[in-house]
Structure formats: C-alpha cells, structure tokens
Structure 1
Amino acid sequence: MDLQISVCLLFVLFTAGHSFSCYECMDVTGSCADQTVKACPSGSSKCMSLTTAAQADGISVKMKVKGCAADCMNGSMNIGTGKTSFACCNTDKCNVQDAPDPSHTPNGKTCYSCVGQSCSNIMSCSGSEDRCIKATGQSMVVKGCVSQAICNATTTTSIPNVLSISCCEGNLCNGAKSVTQSMFLCGFLLSFLLLH
C-alpha cells in the first residue's frame, strides 16, 4: 500500500508544473516554418491547425495557422472564394504537422455558393464536406460546402454579427436566392472557427 501511495505522489510531483502546450504560428506564405511552442491558457484543451486557400480578384493566398483552442473539430469548409481544412488534437504539442491542404477531390455532393450578388452558383463539394451551409448577416449571405463536425459546432454557438447559420444534407439544399456576399461575414465565420 505504501508503494502505491509513493508512486502516486511521485506522479503528482512530476506532473504538477506541466501545462498543456501547442505549436503556434500564422503565416500567409503557406508555410509554418517559424512555429513556436506556447503554453495554452486555462480552458484550452486542444491544439488546432488550419490551412486556408483563398482567391479574390485574381489573387491567390494560402494561409497556415496553429494554436491553442478551447474546442475545435476536424473537417473542411468551402465557400467558393476560400476553402479551409481543420485538424485538431488533444495531446501536448500534437499540432506539429500542418493541417492538410484542402481536398479538391469531388465527393458527389453539390451546394450553392455566392459570387458577388449571385448565390445561384453550383459548387462541387470535396473530401469530407457532406453538408451545405448558409450563414446570414444583415443583408449578407455566405453559402457553400462543410463537414458535419464543423456544421454541428457552428450551429450550436452564437457568432458575433451572424444572424443565422443553417446546415442541410441534400444536394443544393441551401437555396439559390441572391443577396450580397460579404467577406466580413466570411471573416467572422473563420475567426469563430479559429477561436473555438
């Protein structure tokens, strides 16, 4: 019995000063070569990594982000102008690898997306994107393809400046109504996913 207590006390002593850590970086050149280790704040129990490929006005950008997260999910989201893949894990410094590049292999699912003021563009979903998403702000709409895990996380939490988020399973189930698409709304969705 004394041996069990001694082993337990040794374990507590060796782990008492250990905090949960993740790799951290933000790079818009497509590489997280200069990542650092960061002790996560209280409440953060996961490490995340994401890769975003975006295009606007003929300019392509690839961004990599890593850090601590209170909660996150694995999957991807494609809104036409940008596609993001997320990778999450729950062990110390487990996000050393970058999130994979967003898949471009079609999976047979189709959803509407918005370009300019038209939301009647049909896009092919890829990889694990098995749902259509529609997010609305004040006179702004974002539509596209999303993985179920990401959809579940975004529809159960309120996101600033986003009035509603809905996901559906059928092809083209997110409607074709035309309204203004906003990069601000896209930014709010992405920042929510980064911070949660």
Structure 2
Amino acid sequence: MDLQISVFLLFLLFTAGHSLGCYECNSQTGSCADQTVRTCPAGSSWCWSSAGVRQVGGITYKTMSKGCVPACQSWSLNLGYARSITSCCRTDLCNRQDLDPVSNGKKCYTCDGKSCSKTLSCSGDEDRCFTGTDNSGGPLVVAKGCASKSICDATTSVENVQSISCCEGNLCNGAQNVSQSFLFLSCSLLSYFLLH
C-alpha cells in the first residue's frame, strides 16, 4: 500500500510542475529561422503559429509569428492577393514547423477589383469557397476566395461586412463584376480574423 501511495505522489510531483513549451518568434520575412523556446505562462495552454502573405503593387510581404496563447482556433483565409493562416496545437514544441500548406486541388473564384472571374487554387485546410458582401457604404462590394470550415462556422459578425456565405464545390462561389471598393471589404475580413 505504501508503495502505491509513493508512486502516486511521485507521479503528481512530476506532472504538476510541467508547463507547456512553445516556439516563439516574430518575423517579417515569412520564416522563423531564429525561433526560441518559451515556457508558457500559467493559463496559456496552446501553441500557435500564424502566417500572412499579401501582394501590393508587385511586392510580396510575408509575416510569421509563433508563441503561447490561452485559447486558439486553427483557420485559413485566402483572397488571392492576401492570405492568412493560423495553426494551433497543445503539445510541447508542436509549433516548430513554419506554415507552408500545399495545394489541395480545390478551386474558388477571387476578385481583383474589376471582376470576380479569376480562379484561385486553395491549399491546406481551405475546403470551402466564400463570398463576402457589403453595401452599407454605397455600391455593392464583394470579396471571394478560399476559406477553412472554421471561418465559415464563425458565429460572430465581421465589422462592415453585411454577409458571408460559404459553399463546398469547386468554383461554387460564382463569378461576377464588382465595384472597385472591394479592398475595403477584404481588409475588414482579414483584420477581423487576424485579431480574433
């Protein structure tokens, strides 16, 4: 009996003091070559990685961040000219790899400011096509692209976005003409998911 109690107390001693360890970095190059290991503070039970890519005037900007967070949900949103992805995990040092998802064969329509007839190859867990609209500021503004199921299942509203709809078939989000103010809607969508 004393041996069982001793083993149980020894087990409690080793497991109670264990904190989650995650890789941590902030990079403006899209790769975390100089990441460090951080012991997460109390209350942080997730490791996360977040990557963003956007193209402006022929220049591509990339970011990558990693660290500890108290809560997390994995998601991905691809507008063609901008992409954001977050990956979450709950084991020690599970966020080591940089986020670089491969094409998954799905295709969706995307918008370029004049029309929404260009096609976009989805990657990673982007298994839905989406359409977001806003007409609160004048003419109808439309953004289209690829999204993960978690984006489509989000129940909270996005500021300045009237509606978001998702579908599952290839090119199911249809092509159409749009107003030139679609960048406003796209920025609203990306900033919402980056900050929440």
The alignment status of 1:187 with 2:186, answered yes or no, reads no
Q: Pick the structure with more strand per residue.
A: 1
Letter of the structure 1 residue corresponding to residue 187 of structure 2 = F
Instruction: State the Cα distance separating 1:185 from its structure 2 match.
Output: 1.3
Query: What CA distance in whole angstroms lies between the structure 2 residues aligned with 1:16 and 1:80?
Result: 46
| Identity across the alignment (%) | 52
Structure 2 gaps of 5+ residues are none
Alpha-carbon RMSD: 2.9
Instruction: State the Cα distance separating 1:39 from its structure 2 match.
Output: 4.0
Q: Which moved more, 1:90-99 or 1:44-53?
A: 44-53
- Please list, as runs of the form range in 1=range in 2, the aligned pairs for 1:1-196 lying within 5 A after superposition: 1-41=1-41, 43-69=43-69, 70-73=71-74, 76-100=76-100, 102-103=101-102, 105=103, 107=105, 109-116=106-113, 118-136=115-133, 138-139=136-137, 140-152=141-153, 155-159=154-158, 162-175=161-174, 176=176, 178-179=178-179, 180-181=181-182, 182=184, 183-192=186-195, 195=196
Q: Residues 90, 106 of structure 1: CA spacing in aligned structure 2 closer, same or farther, 3 A cutoff?
A: closer
Instruction: State the Cα distance separating 1:58 from its structure 2 match.
Output: 0.8
Instruction: State the Cα distance separating 1:53 from its structure 2 match.
Output: 2.8
Query: What CA distance in whole angstroms lies between the structure 2 residues aligned with 1:17 and 1:122?
Result: 51
Corresponding pairs, count = 187
* Superposition TM-score, scaled by structure 1 size: 0.76
Q: Is the contact between residue 79 and residue 145 of structure 1 (CA under 8 Å) also seen in structure 2?
A: yes
Instruction: State the Cα distance separating 1:41 from its structure 2 match.
Output: 5.0
- The higher radius of gyration belongs to 2
Q: Encode CA deviations 1:24-63: one digit per residue, 9 max, x unaligned.
A: 2121112212323334455543212233332111111222
Q: Encode CA deviations 1:7-27: one digit per residue, 9 max, x unaligned.
A: 222222223233223222121
Aligned partner of residue 111 in structure 2, secondary structure: strand
